[in-house]
A and B are shown apart, each in its own frame.
Chain A
């Protein structure tokens, strides 16, 4: 990420200078700190709230029961997990399936923290698989897109739904396949 970040920023700076857009860029740059705080509040507020709820759910044993329900899938996908990590993985994937978004975020972070047992800097193959699955099966029911289209009086709306489901299913499979690649390299 370091190289990408530095490269993209320097490239954009140069490009903007060559195109003579420096004034617009400076104006935008000055807005960055303000924008960040407001965006963080928008994303972070719900995350904090659901982290609180998550604690109730885990203290009352609700997450444990949920994980037992889904244990047949979780055990296959993530065979070497510790029990508490497995519970949070289950919750995160269910929240993802339902499209709950912010409600799932704290459990994803918690699962990753629990999965990282030693002080390793590299994600384990299972962590990589979990992250990629999170990216892939984001939307089984894309509520925001469909509701926004309704506001614009779209005629083609519900017809999109099967395609979304098909796509997220397909992408999840691809995610599982590519998460196999680094594993093999570790073995050989």
Chain B
């Protein structure tokens, strides 16, 4: 895959450049890892809150009920569920996308729409809460609203593009 080659090129280039500049690469790497570990450990508390939330939403059955309301819209109800979960969790959206590919077909309207929903928007709520938590910012509700707004525009774009392509 292209991205793996890019990553390897990035790693080799960074280490080689550091070597040419005659800095202590190993010590620098160790120092960075130490800092990164602290960041990740600090992330844990926010992460747990998020996994709990997504888990509750998924298991209480509201998504399936909402989805069945949208059965007659001309696409798989799972697409609607995917759009609702997308701002919170990239992994859930990904899993739903695979399910849609399996049940409705990759090249169907639902399949293309699902690909666009996953690819165009991002897990905005998760990213903003995550990064702000890591940087120690507490009042980010306005930024959060902005992120959700971007998601909604992304869904509209996904729908228009899917109409154009199928």
Q: Chain A interface (Cβ within 8 Å of chain B)?
A: 1, 5, 8-9, 12-13, 15-16, 19, 21, 24-25, 28-29, 31-33, 35-36, 39-40, 44, 47-57, 59-62, 98-100, 103, 106, 108-109, 112-113, 115-116, 120-123, 127-128, 131-132, 134-136, 138-139, 141-145, 147-149, 152-156, 159-160, 163-164, 167-168, 170-171, 174-175, 178-179, 182
Contacts and interface: CB of A to CB of B under 8 A. Distances in A.
Given A56-B18, A134-B127, A148-B97, A51 B35 contact: yes
11 contacts: A5-B49, A9-B53, A15-B62, A36-B51, A44-B43, A61-B21, A109-B39, A123-B143, A136-B150, A164-B116, A171-B120
A156 B28 contact: no
Contact of B15 (A25, A48, A56): A56
Given A53-B14, A135-B128, A98 B33 contact: no
B154 A160 contact: no
Contacts of A16: 56, 59-61
Contacts, number: 269
Given A5-B53, A142-B119, A148-B98, A156 B7 contact: no
Contacts of B44: 36, 40
Interface string B57-79: 11111100100000000000000
Could you tell me the dominant secondary structure of chain A's interface residues? helix
A188 to B, nearest CB: 15
Task: Specify the main secondary structure of chain B where it touches its partner.
Answer: helix
A182 B30 CA distance: 40
B120 A1 contact: no
A48 B37 contact: yes
Given A13-B56, A167-B120, A143 B2 contact: yes
Nearest to A175: B150
Contact of A163 (B21, B56, B91, B161): B161
Contacts of B29: 52-53, 55-56
Contacts of A36: 44, 47-48, 51
Interface string B103-147: 000110001100110111010100111011011111111111011
B165 A57 contact: no
Contacts of B25: 56, 60
B142 A182 contact: yes
A45 to B, nearest CB: 8
B140 to A, nearest CB: 6
B112 to A, nearest CB: 7
